[in-house]
Amino acid sequence: NVEDLSGLPDGAVDHFQSEGIESLYPPQAEAVEAGICAGESLVAAVPTASGKTMIAALSMLSAIERGGKALYIVPLRALASEKKAEFDAFERFGVTTGVTTGNYESTSDWLATKDLIVATSEKVDSLVRNGADWLTDLTCVVSDEVHLIDDRNRGPTLEVTLAKLRQLNPALQVIALSATVGNADAIADWLDAELVDSDWRPIDLKMGVHYGNAIQFDDGGTREVPVEGSKKQEAALLRDILEEGGSSLVFVNSRRNAEAAARRLASTSGNHLTPEERADLADIAADIRDISDTETSEELATCLEEGSAFHHAGLANEHRTLVEDAFRDRLIKVISATPTLAAGVNTPARRVVVRDWRRFDASAGGMAPLSVLEVHQMMGRAGRPGLDPYGEAVLLAKSHDEMDELFERYVWADPEEVRSKLAAEPALRTHVLATIASGFANTRGGLLEFMANTLYASQSTEAGRLERVTDDVLTYLERNDFIEREGDEVAGATAETESDDDAGGFVSAATMAETEGAADDVELRATGLGHTVSRLYLDPMSAAEIVHGLEEADQRPSALGLYQLIARTPDMYELYLRSGDDETYGELFYEREAELLGDPPSEYEDARFEDWLSALKTGKLLEDWADEDDEYRLTERYSVGPGDLRGKVDTAEWLLGAAESLAAEIDSEWTVAVREARARVEHGVREELLELVGIRNVGRKRARQLYAAGLETPADLREADKSVVLGALKGEKTAETILENAGRDDPSMDGVSPDATKGGDGG
């Protein structure tokens, strides 16, 4: 019973009871028995929606009650705000929560006063690099979705961050929450933690495959779900569950497919709406159109009016939240989603349909099957405790053979093992530099020792691999001036003597061993540039590219030149070249070649040339944005979602901010050009509007309107004839606020009428 728990802050038990939690779920009880309330580390590998958050909460609250401080690491920004909202309820009994996700350069000192901090793994990594003092006060760290250590892109950061936090405080309590994976015991070994490995679920899950006119379930049962005429299987499955009063999640493999499926399913869900539901949905659709004026937004609003929605990473955050809330309120009957929805965000449905079990994978050069782990996580979203009698998760087969294959591959299969991806070079490059720069290791030996505390080391069977890749990375970092090795000369000298000996035909094993021993003592130090790169949270390869580009520029670089340069770095996710783009951007390349920075590849270096063109396409998108093209046209022209455009702009802003610091570090004369290009991309404006957008509440559109009315600077606004301002801005309130923000003493617009001869519709 929750009542019997001890060691928690006063009021915590009442809080859980008010949330409807009276007794612990079995895995939670096991975790308490394993000692989580007494500082014991734990790996909890349990299915989605089985109450992992409660395990984390009990650990953190008891740690805080003992005078400690807790950190909750999430894999996605969207989850950070969700968790923060959940933990904010602890404020009632005096536990304060802070959240930090963005701004990789700050140490967020204000967090030192909070008991509980929620952050993404990238943010925690950067806090470690920037030496945030309060990190040493941490006594309990929770890592949510720890199986993501297996992720090629983001896994290494999480892995290294956990290793560093443990090095900072060897007594640290680590609570690792994981989906059910093949080797939870190995993760527990690595973290010196207890293990709760369970497949218990609060609500029964029936897994099956739909083929022909029925679902075959894993328990041997079947359910008739006939597919009529030319209808799709997912439409039949949706209608069937709607007739019972349930809702459905449909997982597909791409954004485009999510949108197409939502459009098609709208005709089915639309038939099951009451007039009240229609009215509520119409209101939400209006909110969606209000948030942004793009094709995606219009598309979403149109489907949503019929009770159907799509959900993918290209949606704006506000859109995503509206969709999730309306689905939980049972207004939306079906969401067609890409797998991002499965990894977090609490949106269960009675029936989950996994429509696509293959997706495009560039490294496989075609379609590749999803992992068992991913499919199980999607399936785990089925069933809302307290609302549904059970959850149903269904895969779709087009043939009898495919049905057999799906049972084998997913329904009966165990999830894969989690394997460290740290030995991949881009990951090591970044983390080796950061480890040296932040002082976690200052010799080669120390570095290898630190590496020995990673999951990679505990899983590696190939002797010497980590050491070899680490040495390659050290060489790369030294060559690009990010680190210095001291004592190198000594090692070099020994090697020379050795080869002399060699000439004489004699090298003793002892001499060899000694040489290696000396190499271990070689002192490693980050250079000024190296420190900057690590602090900026850049991939060293990105930094090298930028530094090189700036050094090679013999005249003031143009915005496009800078945008293309940062788009070339591994930190910017480039736009793909679509058919026809080769030609378009090939032409643009020759036209504007003089503006591009660094060494352009020749046309015969296929891969590199293509890379330059993709970067040019991305750079051109940014230039168009900074030339004030409107959002709608840009998303059309480049076939991207509004969320993608935002993402590119944010990344560009960050990389150019970093480029500015690098420019200062190498005494480049182009610092101002970089700063200007950054400001233009930040606000999406041409140079002449930069002063105006510095005023609060003046965005790109308003700035352009003001400028067109002859108001070019904040000073102009302070002195202008009010009727001109009003004519340019339309709306008294807006005009007043802006005049006030521009520092005008008498912003009031009482009795002023707009001057129709200037401004007006001039925007």
Q: Which residues bind ligand ADP (CB under 6 A)?
A: 19-21, 24-25, 28, 48-54, 346, 385
Distance CA 685, CA 701 (A): 9
Q: Which residue's CB is nearer to ligand ADP, number 196 or number 689?
A: 196
Please report the DSSP string for 304-322 in residue order: HTTTEEEE-TTS-HHHHHH
Three-point CA angle 542, 544, 550, nearest 5°: 105
Query: For tokens 């001039």, what's the residue?
Result: 762
Distance CA 660, CA 674 (A): 6
Q: Which residue's CB is nearer to ligand ADP, number 28 or number 269?
A: 28
Smallest separation (angstroms) from ligand ADP to the CB of 282 = 29
Smallest separation (angstroms) from ligand ADP to the CB of 232 = 30
Smallest separation (angstroms) from ligand ADP to the CB of 77 = 17
Q: Which residue's CB is nearer to ligand ADP, number 28 or number 100?
A: 28
Computed on alpha carbons and rounded to an integer, the radius of gyration of the chain in Å comes to: 29
Smallest separation (angstroms) from ligand ADP to the CB of 69 = 22
Q: Which residue's CB is nearer to ligand ADP, number 50 or number 454?
A: 50
Q: Which residues of 477-510 are buried (b: 16+ CB within 10 A; e: fewer)?
A: bbebbbbebeeeeebeeeeeebeeeeeeeeeeee
Distance CA 315, CA 370 (A): 23
Q: Which residue's CB is nearer to ligand ADP, number 45 or number 616?
A: 45
Q: Which residue's CB is nearer to ligand ADP, number 79 or number 725?
A: 79
Smallest separation (angstroms) from ligand ADP to the CB of 737 = 41
Q: Which amino acid is at 461?
A: T
Q: Which residues of 700-732 are buried (b: 16+ CB within 10 A; e: fewer)?
A: bebbbbbbbbebbbbebbeebebbbbbbbbeee
Query: For tokens 């990344």, what's the residue?
Result: 651
180 torsion bin: left (phi>0), alpha (psi -120 to 50), beta (else): beta
Residue 471 CB-density burial (10 A; 0-12 exposed, 13-18 middle, 19+ buried): middle
Residues whose CB is less than 8 angstroms from the CB of residue 93 and which lie 6 or more positions away in sequence, other chains included: 9, 10, 11, 12, 14, 15
Q: Which residue's CB is nearer to ligand ADP, number 345 or number 413?
A: 345
Q: How many CB atoms lie within 10 A of CB 191?
A: 23
Q: Which residue's CB is nearer to ligand ADP, number 8 or number 265?
A: 8
Question: Closest by alpha carbon to 741, among 702, 708, 700, 694?
Answer: 694
Q: Coil, strand, or helix at residue 222?
A: strand
- The length of the chain, given as a count of residues: 763
Q: Which residue's CB is nearer to ligand ADP, number 183 or number 346?
A: 346
Smallest separation (angstroms) from ligand ADP to the CB of 385 = 6
Smallest separation (angstroms) from ligand ADP to the CB of 386 = 8
Distance CA 435, CA 249 (A): 43
Smallest separation (angstroms) from ligand ADP to the CB of 200 = 11
Smallest separation (angstroms) from ligand ADP to the CB of 496 = 60
Distance CA 179, CA 198 (A): 10
Q: Which residue's CB is nearer to ligand ADP, number 351 or number 381?
A: 381
Q: Which residue's CB is nearer to ligand ADP, number 21 or number 313?
A: 21
* Token couple for 549: 């580009």
* Token couple for 284: 């939400």
Q: Which residue's CB is nearer to ligand ADP, number 48 or number 296?
A: 48
